[in-house]
Amino acid sequence: MMDRIRVAVVDDEELARRILRELLAAHADIEIVAECANGFEAVKAAAELTLDLLLLDIQMPKLDGFDVLELLGSELPVIFVTAYDSYAIRAFEVHAVDYLLKPFSAERLAEALGRARERIQSRERPPVRDLLSTARADRGPIQRILIRDRADVHVIPVEKIDYVESQDDYVAVKTGGHSYLKEQTLADLEALLDPRAFVRIHRRYVLNLARLSKIELAVTDSRVAILSDGTQLPISRAGYARLRELL
């Protein structure tokens, strides 16, 4: 016999949560320990409760299901719940992630739960990076960066960013005198930003062009970027070539 599976139901519609609650009641091993009406509540629940599984709606305001997945990483097995969304369904099918297409039957939910039980036992986790890449394809540059700090979520509009610094498998997002650490490589984040507004000036730095005040020569013919707040960042030869193309 399996232990009870601790589940969080995440959907911004109360009716949808009630339907899931009623359908899940037929499964003796399922225990609903949280009902979340938005993505912020989902991140908080994951940080503060012991969860085994998320039933996660995709279409939600402010933080959608993919935003929640990005913030949680591969912590939890997930069954995605969605109305028709071609990008989402393509991503799920490409990466063999289970989803429920609204409206769904009790039988279809039972099938998804059966797969979830297998994943929980095998400790299999969702392929987060590949799934997000496929789901967000062709949607253009990101407009904001989401950073999780335990149960809190920082939402940073990209135009507020001064620059981003690489710190191994993390990036430090610098904005308004604050620094926020995010588990993501600089190359991955750079690929999501608008290349007309952000430029890789050095192997460790991506700069918001709107923050560039001037470029100065330094020792041995190297250059530094002077930002509007006085911050100085090194510019590599390749970075200078990129800057010249954009300025």
Per residue in 87-126, pLDDT tens?
788 889 888 789 999 999 999 999 999 999 999 998 888 8
Q: Is the dihedral of CA 235, 205, 192, 141 positive or negative?
A: negative
> Would you tell me how many other CB atoms lie within 10 Å of the CB of residue 78?
25
Q: Do 112 and 223 share a structural domain?
A: no
pTM (2 d.p.): 0.86
Cα–Cα distance between 5 and 10 in angstroms, integer?
16
Q: Do 150 and 68 share a structural domain?
A: no
Instruction: Decide if 189 contacts 206 (C-beta within 8 A).
Output: yes
Q: Do 189 and 106 share a structural domain?
A: no
Q: Do 41 and 10 share a structural domain?
A: yes
Residue 77 has φ and ψ, to the nearest 5°, of -65, 145
- How many domains in the chain? 2
pLDDT of residue 124: 83
SS3 206: strand
Residue 191: CATH number of its domain: 2.40.50.1020
Residue 216 has φ and ψ, to the nearest 5°, of -120, 150
Q: Residues 191-221: pLDDT tens digits?
A: 999 999 999 999 999 999 999 999 999 877 7
SS3 202: strand
Q: Identify the domain boundary among 135, 161, 177.
A: 135
User: Which structural domain range is residue 229 located in?
Assistant: 144-246
